[in-house]
């Protein structure tokens, strides 16, 4: 709850006029207790998870022949029932985890110094914090992901996520409840190290979810983000990890590729890419676009 009764009080405290965003935030949060300002995380993440993958899912289901050239594993076609089962199971598990988390989110946010007061963060501050969060999350997630591929963790926990050797976006949240708890730690580590405004936290959770949906999409589209973001792995990088399966020793990083390169866990992937490039060169113009995108040969761990 903000300590201002009116816009004038807020402007007097800040020593300047409110931006339109700050005025909107004042209207929204002035009478809402702080502990409830963290609850929209549930709605935001569920809306993003439901709607963001929908266009590609409909594209894949309604026009499989048109979609095939852009799919990384074009020979795999998930039926509608599989999409629905994946979505419902993921939502059920996520609510099982997110619901109880909301009961402790406010005390945790207080410890992390997540603020709700004015002023709102600038775009530059948000961009800088999100960059830090992605880097921190990526590094920690890399090592936890490698841990999940040890024999015990894979057999007891991580194998659920790897049921989809050809993932689609809704598989991003598909997994064992324990895995969702484990991988929540890297997502919260950045905000714990670099405290932010609660609105930045909303943006961070939404952005990280969109990125996870992208790398599980199963599509390599002409406008993919890896063309524009340095060291970004994208869908092709992570799809190979699912393609190899449980014995994979490649491509553990969730966002960027530098950890896999530094620690040598991208050798199989680079060999695979080199093999595809060689096949394309030998085949010349006769190579099919689906083969160029897909994981059909040169399989290495």
Distance CA 9, CA 199 (A): 22
- Its domain, for residue 180, covers 39-279
Q: Are residues 130 and 245 in the same domain?
A: yes
Give the residue from 280, 287, 250 showing the smallest Cα distance to 268.
250
User: Same domain, yes or no, for 11 and 101?
Assistant: no
284 lies in a domain?
no
Decide if 158 is inside a domain: yes
Residues 74 and 178 in one domain: yes
Q: SS3 for 42?
A: helix
Give tens-digit pLDDT for 161-174: 999 999 999 999 99
Same domain, 75 and 167: yes
**How far is 147 from 188, CA to CA, in rounded Å?**
19
Spatial CA neighbour of 255 closest among 272, 220, 230, 218: 230
Q: What is the total residue count of the chain?
A: 301
Q: Are residues 67 and 205 in the same domain?
A: yes
- Above 50 in pLDDT, residue 299? no
Nearest-angstrom CA–CA distance, 203 and 246: 32
In-domain check, residue 197 = yes
Nearest to 232 by CA among 248, 212, 247: 212
Q: Are residues 113 and 78 in the same domain?
A: yes
Number of domains in the chain: 2
Please state the pTM of the whole predicted model. Answer: 0.89
Per-residue pLDDT tens over the stretch 27-78? 888 888 888 888 888 889 999 999 999 999 999 999 999 999 999 999 999 9
Question: Of 255, 132, 102, whose CA–CA distance to 200 is shortest?
Answer: 132
């Amino acid at each position: 709850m903000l300590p201002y009764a009116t816009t004038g009080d807020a402007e007097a405290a800040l020593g300047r006029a409110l931006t339109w965003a700050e005025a909107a935030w004042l209207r929204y949060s002035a009478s809402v207790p702080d502990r409830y300002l963290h609850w929209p995380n549930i709605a935001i993440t569920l809306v993003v998870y439901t709607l963001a993958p929908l266009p590609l899912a409909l594209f894949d289901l309604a026009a499989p022949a048109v979609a095939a050239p852009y799919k990384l594993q074009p020979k795999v076609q998930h039926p509608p029932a599989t999409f629905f089962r994946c979505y419902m199971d993921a939502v059920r598990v996520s609510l099982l985890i997110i619901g109880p988390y909301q009961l402790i989110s406010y005390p945790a946010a207080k410890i992390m110094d997540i603020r709700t007061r004015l002023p709102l963060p600038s775009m530059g501050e948000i961009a800088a914090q999100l960059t830090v969060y992605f880097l921190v999350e990526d590094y920690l997630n890399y090592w936890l992901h490698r841990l999940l591929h040890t024999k015990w963790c894979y057999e007891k926990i991580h194998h659920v996520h790897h049921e989809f050797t050809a993932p689609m976006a809704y598989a991003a949240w598909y997994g064992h409840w324990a895995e969702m708890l484990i991988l929540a730690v890297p997502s919260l580590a950045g905000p714990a190290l670099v405290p932010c405004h609660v609105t930045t936290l909303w943006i961070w959770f939404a952005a990280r979810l969109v990125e996870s949906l992208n790398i599980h999409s199963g599509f390599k589209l002409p406008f993919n983000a890896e063309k524009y973001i340095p060291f970004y792995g994208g869908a092709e990088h992570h799809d190979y990890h699912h393609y190899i399966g449980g014995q994979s020793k490649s491509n553990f990083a969730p966002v960027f590729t530098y950890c896999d390169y530094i620690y040598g866990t991208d050798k199989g992937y680079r060999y695979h890419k080199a093999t595809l490039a060689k096949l394309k060169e030998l085949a010349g113009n006769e190579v099919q676009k689906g083969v160029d995108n897909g994981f059909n040969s040169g399989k290495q761990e």
